[in-house]
Amino acid sequence: MAGKLIQIFLMLVITATVSADIEEYKRERYDVIVERSPFGEDPGLAADLAREQAQSQKEAAEAAKLAKEMEKKIRLCYLLEADNGELRAGFENKGAKAGDPRSIMLRLNESFQGMKLTDIDVLNSSATLEMNGKPVTFELTQAVAAAPAKTAAPVAQRRKFGSGFRRPEKPAKPAEPELTPEEQAARREEVRENLRQYQMEVIRQGMPPLPIPLTKEMDDQLVAEGILPPSGPSAPGQ
């Protein structure tokens, strides 16, 4: 009986010792050794990163090709914000044939020849169209540019073999700097000026005018150029 009690006591002591060892020697204890990469880098991760980079390059090439195709069809000419806050984007139909409209105006989520307007950024003077599920951003100062959000290749980060199973995190997209009220006002004035200039070109080419009123200066200039007839004799006393 005493022998059995001694055996049970020894088993309890051994079990407690092993449990204490397991609790003490956690994975973090070996991080210093693992960080030295004694077995080299994880080959599987390198292959995954190579595949991701190749896919990103392929998507970037496809986006650039699509942007060139769309540039041949249309060009962003103006952005318009109505009094009720509704945004519209005007485009020149560069591929217009006989009977086709030479200029088009789209609201958000409206489409033209398979190109859907998905975003209008008045402050940055740009509009984004989506075709075949791929976005392309048009700018007033630049004919067309592929949207960078889906084509940027992830920056490869090195991971040591055996240092864990978490994949490297992609770098966060830097936040766009906020414009001051003065900068926002200047940007809006730039957009309005682009819109006024395009309105003048539309009228000069005999195209239907945009749904915006002419200023007196614009009207006087078109009359001086012989594009519009004089509005009539001035009222007495003027």
Residue 87 lies in a domain: yes
What pLDDT is stored for residue 164 in this prediction? 44
pLDDT class of 1 with cuts at 50, 70, 90 = low
Residue 10 lies in a domain: no
pLDDT over 70, % of the chain: 62
Contact between residue 196 and residue 218 where contact means Cβ atoms under 8 Å apart? yes
Indicate the SS3 state at residue 75.
strand
Residue 92 lies in a domain: yes
pLDDT tens digits, one per residue of 166-219:
455 555 656 666 778 888 788 777 777 777 777 777 787 777 777 777 788 888
Nearest to 168 by CA among 57, 27, 35, 48: 48
Structural domain harbouring 107: 43-159
Residue 101 lies in a domain: yes
Residue 9 lies in a domain: no
Residue 88 lies in a domain: yes
Residue 95 lies in a domain: yes
- pTM for the whole thing? 0.45
Q: How many structural domains is the chain composed of? A: 1
Residue 211 lies in a domain: no
pLDDT tens digits, one per residue of 7-51:
555 565 455 554 544 445 566 666 666 666 555 566 666 677 778
